[in-house]
């Protein structure tokens, strides 16, 4: 993800989420490249999806993943997630953790298919509607 992607990424974010991140939040993600890992999936010049994650000590936190609603079920989220898992392996991370809406069954299935397991429930986590978040974790390396 580059600064030139931000207008399109912010527009994609608004199509995907009821409480979208602002362009300024995405810009902040680009400013700390060593810790932050922002990625886009592109076809030609069009951004089809993106992923935001953070590498902190031996942990990876998957903060956000989104795919254009018109482009879903084409493996774009899988590609982005596989890239993140590969980066976690290269950097020697111990685990990847994320929060997902309990009602987002397709995302939960995706994460489980990559070895993520339920860790905890965070009640009322999402501010737009008070929905609970399922915290999921995937152990890496010898711990997996």
List active site positions.
Answer: 99, 111
**From start to end of the chain, where are the E strands?**
36-43, 46-56, 59-67, 95-101, 117-122, 133-139
Alpha carbon 52 to its chain's center: 5
Helix (H) or strand (E) holding 54: strand 46-56
Backbone phi, then psi, for 86, in 5-degree steps? -60, -45
């Amino acid at each position: 993800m580059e600064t030139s992607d931000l207008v399109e990424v912010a527009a994609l974010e608004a199509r995907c989420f009821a409480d979208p991140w602002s362009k300024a939040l995405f810009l902040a993600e680009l400013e700390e490249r060593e810790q932050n890992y922002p990625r886009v999936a592109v076809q030609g010049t069009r951004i089809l999806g993106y992923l935001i994650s953070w590498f902190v000590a031996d942990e990876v936190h998957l903060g956000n993943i989104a795919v254009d609603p018109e482009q879903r079920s084409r493996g774009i989220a899988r590609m982005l997630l596989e890239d993140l898992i590969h980066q976690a392996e290269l950097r020697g991370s111990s685990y990847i953790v994320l929060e997902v809406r309990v009602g987002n069954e397709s995302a939960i299935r995706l994460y489980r298919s990559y070895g993520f397991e339920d860790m905890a429930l965070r009640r009322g986590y999402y501010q737009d509607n008070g929905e609970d978040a399922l915290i999921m974790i995937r152990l890496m390396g010898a711990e997996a």
